[in-house]
Structure 1
Amino acid sequence: MDQTTPQNPNAGSPQQLRSDSSADRERLLSHLREAVSDAEQWLSSAVKDGPAEIEHAKGQFQETLRNAKTDLLKLEDSVLARGKLAAQAADGYVHDNPWIAVGCGAAVGLALGMLITRR
């Protein structure tokens, strides 16, 4: 298995990654709410005001979308880093305890086989 480290230099403990991803998630939701609000304001100003106000609202809306995209990419990086850490931990556990892993796999296979043959 690839033993590369996560790209995020701040990626440390799993708890740190959880707090980073939850903060990124909240920031993303905030930017998306702001984008929806800006879109509503843009539509209402398009009816009331002239082209100058529309261009200003459009610029603000595009900036909000850029921020949301940036936060989404950060959240994606955080989730990928957590997934890599989980895969590395599982790989290490299986290498340290191969018979337990084989037993768990056999038990899961047996349970799934019984469920499939019941139907």
Structure 2
Amino acid sequence: MARPTAEKAQDILMSDFQTLVADTEKLLAHTASLAGEQADELRDQINESLVRARETLSVAQAALRERSQEAVVATEEYVQANPWQSVGIAAGAGFLIGLLATRR
């Protein structure tokens, strides 16, 4: 049950970053009509930043997926090895959340 939620959150985060990069590319394309040496330098700098952002994004995405997968596996192993402790922890957390929610 936790696995689909974590994967969905990762997908949303990666989608948002990819949208940011795509929007920046559109901005770069719209600045193509600008003329002059400074505009060319600005476009080159933006383009270099986009390339670095894409590389960083792909590395971060792979690392995030790997770490979250490890966390999900570790949690599942713990719950399977200690089912009653897991139930107790979940009940305690639910009780605390209930107390905090009713204090409003």
Which bin holds the TM-score, normalised by the shorter protein? 0.5 to 0.7
| Aligned residue in 2 for 1:80 | 65
Per-residue deviation, 1:60: 4.7
Asked which structure has the greater CA Rg, the reply is 1
| Aligned residue in 1 for 2:48 | 63
Structure 1 segments of 4+ aligned residues over 4 angstroms from their partners: none
The alignment covers a number of residue pairs equal to 72
Flag the structure with higher helix content.
2
Separation of aligned partners in 2, 1:87 and 1:98: 16
Q: TM-score normalized by structure 2? A: 0.56
Separation of aligned partners in 2, 1:57 and 1:112: 51
Q: How does 1:29-44 map to 2 (within 5 A)?
A: none
Q: TM-score normalized by structure 1? A: 0.50
Q: Return closer, same or farther for 1:91/1:51 CA change in 2, 3 Å cut-off.
A: same
Per-residue deviation, 1:58: 2.5
Instruction: Return 5+ residue gaps in structure 2 as ranges.
Output: 2-33
